[in-house]
Chains A and B, each alone.
Chain A
Amino acid sequence: MSIYTTPTAIQRGGFYLGSSPWDVHILGGEDMLRRMAILAILLLMIAPVLAQDNVLTLVTHDSFNVSEDVLAQFQDETGITVQILRSGDAGTMLNQSILSKENPLGDVMFGVDNTFLSRALDNDLFVPYESPLLENVPDEFKLDPENRVTPIDFGDVCLNYDVSYFEENSLALPESLEELTDPTYKSLLVVENPATSSPGLAFLLATIQSFGTEGDTTYLNYWADLVDNDVLVVDDWSTAYYAEFSGSSGSEGTRPLVVSYASSPPVEVYFMEAPPESAPTGSIVADDMCFRQIEFAGVLANAQNPEAAQKFIDFMLDVPFQEDVPLQMFVYPVNTEAAIPEIFTEYSAIPEKSVTVDPAKIDANREEWIQAWTETVLR
């Protein structure tokens, strides 16, 4: 019955002294207190006060994922129980860990990328650990000589395009960032705001590295040209990809170019309703058009269980986890021994020459770069 139709007790003549069997259950006095106490005890019981001996707590972000059987194998072999703690995006996770570094939330952290790396290192978040499996990892991924962090996976932020749009309009794909300012590509591109989105920041960094910050023409001139060419900026990846990009299936979007990941086209195919004859989207992996993101793991300083944390890092570098990474987190393994799923090789490619920026430089200039970008593009 609606709250608007039930007459109050008084209106009904009101002195209904016999109480219904329901009332105490809803808001009774002593009974209420007793129920509260029971409830509190129950809540404490479901709290994860794990009394097991060997528990490892993994601190990570919301995008972390692994196959059940791969993780189970680690727990079976080592006798370590893994508890996963998540908190928001990579930035939130990192900042929470910095704030709590004297009394850390867990033992090992996964998910710091190269754009946040120096913030983590400068705050002495990790202690060094050199995994024997690092010998299978190319040197380009090892950004910390002291091994306070271990590279686990990488991905490239690249433009994705709507295959049928480019075919129907007989349009050539842009082969450099400069070409995006060409009138041919007017009103075609949607990008994410670097202030609120990680692929957005990656793409900004690619333009900064390509066009520089000093001299007569800088990345800001480039962005002013992009604005003249009617680039669309939205705040997050989901909005860009699902609402504005025309290539994602069922999308109502109108823009055939979007800043996404090199791995998005195979994932798009993987999650299609039925296997397609040809892929609906593709990624543009031309030289200097993509920004490389590398994700790291590290043993947290002051960890309760550092031995287990080291074992977990070995596990993440080992082939089973590394081969699990593409289809769970849509990134590429750093271990050269790990095989890449066919769907990834069929529908995407790893850029031969990605843009990278020194992590220390990113951290030192992030605020200034984003601020200047905001002034140029959004005002």
Chain B
Amino acid sequence: MRWGRKNTGGSQTRPYRILLLIPLIFLALFFFYPLLTIFGISLAPEGQLNLSAFATVVMSDYYRETLWFTVVQAVLSTVLTLVLALPGAYVFARYDFPGKSLLSSLSTLAFVLPTVVVAAAFSALIGPRGVVNDALTAIFRLESPPIQLERTLVIILIVHVFYNYSVALRIIGGFWATQSLRMEEVARVLGASGWRLWWHIRLPILRPAILAAAVLVFIFTFTSFGVILILGGPRFATLEVEIYRQATSLFNLPVAAALSLVQIILMFALMLIYTRLQRQTATELQGWVARRPRNRREWGFVIANVIVMAILLFAPLLALVIRSLTGHDGLTTQFYQLLSSNPRGSVLFVPPVQAIGNSLIFAIVTTVMAVLLGTMAAYLLAQRQSRLSRWLDPVFMLPLATSAVTLGFGYIIALDEPPLNLRASPLLIPIAHTLVAMPFVVRSVLPALRAIAPGIQESASVLGASGWQIWRLIDLPLISRGLIVGATFAFTVSMGEFGASSFIARPDTPTMPLVIYRLLGQPGATNYGQAMAMSVLLMAVCAVSFVLIERLRSAGIGEF
């Protein structure tokens, strides 16, 4: 391994570099080892490599169409998300207005909800018998509901934007807030305005953050599973859906492995291109002071964005809250009360407090692991001259591109001997969550880290500051926004994650999403109502946690 000589700062001593290897060891143990084991068993069952499954996959029209659809919907979803979120990010970075911090926290709530619940929320809103259609039918005296989006590409895209809006908003907005205003002011003085300002100044400055957000959103929608299954219906299938079908229903491991590999290779290639594109930007970091909008135009821009967010993000969430409070005879809180009763005395029953507790413990452990490992990984990748880092960067994103069922099988066969006999350990859940959460931390921290001008650290070093002092007094304040965004997403990923943990054999430590799925697996109005109530509780717990995470920053890191 060769480390570049010219590093980010003068603070890198030897033990520090060893620290940077920890995320690689983590990936090797909990990602590559199980994954390679399952690929080995799938593609070389008798020790002989058999690539006929690849041939099947490559030759089949069906898989080619599936791949095509997967790419198309992911590109469309990513573009739509960015177009909608970019003005939002500007508004949040630039202006101060009442309710702003609350809005930014709440925008992340969408990310935590299980797909089934989101589907229910959208159905209550724009389904054939939803509020909007009812109103339109009544007003215009229509025969049939005017909005019919069920099982269309449009509804898939809408829900993908719903889920990913906050990813783009927070990554871009967080980065933007650290960028110097000077360029923009100079451009304004020189007469640039409107689209010129966006095209020549803002977008180029934001490029690293936009690319980072785009890559995350693309990977997320490329590997979309629940949204496609539940909202798209059986006519739509992504590679991820196919892998699941092949692995569980048909137990066709060679084809499942071949498809997983295709997906991983494609994502890796994409990430490689991304890292090439990403210019090493080292702008002056000054930070933007958010201010009140000054005139009507500015207020109009802010309000327009808030309205977009309200329609896109909050209307479905509100529909969900209302649904959880509506019984057969009107308003009721009985579903919330029922959550804590166990009339059947079943061992599966989970008091809500316990489910909340389990979810919180997993989420806190995940957040701590993901922030530590992700920050170390970001430092490793920020080593400028290292050719290695160009290859390593995509590697850290791979867990996002890997099908959960494939990795779940890998865990079963690879981690079955001491000292790594983790198959039935509750530790596996935060480990699996960390794999998914770490890329968020890396993507949120890395742009800020790369933007730190080396001069600052060198000056500090010359002035006699120790490596630790430099990190705490210079690096930490500058990356703290990124850290908070990363931590928030790590926490959210863990709170809402269901897929990966359901493919691991695990002792009974039910989390909130699992309770929701169990309730929706049984007939009956009270089960459905309780599932909605549990979803609202999940949102509430997350909302409170977001506020606390923000506090942590303003109380601690921001106080230097």
Contacts and interface: CB of A to CB of B under 8 A. Distances in A.
A85 B128 contact: no
A10 B248 contact: no
Interface in A115-173: 119
Given A71-B347, A235-B229, A9 B477 contact: yes
Which of A9, A103, A236, A367: most chain B Cβ within 10 A?
A9
B2 to A, nearest CB: 27
B484 to A, nearest CB: 5
A27 interface: yes
B523 A241 contact: yes
B554 interface: yes
A26 B345 contact: no
A67 B346 CA distance: 4
B560 A267 contact: no
A14 B477 contact: yes
B5 interface: no
A249 B348 contact: no
Interface stretch (B199-207, B268-276, B382-390, B497-505): B497-505
B234 A196 contact: yes
Contact of A238 (B174, B235, B416, B520): B520
B178 A8 contact: yes
Nearest to A103: B416
A136 B556 CA distance: 68
The secondary structure that dominates the B interface is: helix
B346 A328 contact: yes
Interface stretch (B77-85, B285-293, B391-399): B285-293
A250 B328 contact: yes
Interface stretch (A93-101, A293-301, A309-317): A93-101
Contact of B287 (A8, A63, A96): A8
Given A88-B248, A119-B251, A252-B129, A99 B558 contact: no
Interface string A10-26: 11001111011011011
Interface stretch (B116-124, B215-223, B308-316): B116-124
How large, as a class, is the contact surface on chain B? 35 or more
Given A105-B423, A252-B128, 9 more contacts: A4-B100, A4-B173, A10-B477, A23-B559, A59-B505, A84-B508, A103-B417, A238-B520, A239-B119
Interface of A: 1-11, 14-17, 19-20, 22-23, 25-27, 29, 32, 36, 39, 43-44, 46-48, 57, 59, 62-69, 71, 83-89, 91-96, 98-100, 103, 105, 119, 193, 195-196, 201, 233-239, 241-243, 248-250, 252, 254, 260, 264, 267-274, 281, 327-328, 330, 366-367, 370, 378
Task: Please provide the 6 A-B residue pairs with the shortest distance between their CB atoms, ordered closest to farther.
Answer: A271-B524, A2-B101, A22-B556, A249-B525, A9-B477, A87-B505
29 contacts: A2-B92, A2-B100, A3-B481, A4-B104, A4-B290, A5-B96, A10-B287, A14-B473, A15-B473, A22-B555, A36-B368, A47-B426, A48-B424, A48-B425, A48-B507, A59-B505, A63-B521, A68-B345, A84-B347, A99-B41, A105-B412, A193-B234, A237-B521, A238-B521, A239-B230, A267-B523, A268-B524, A273-B334, A327-B344
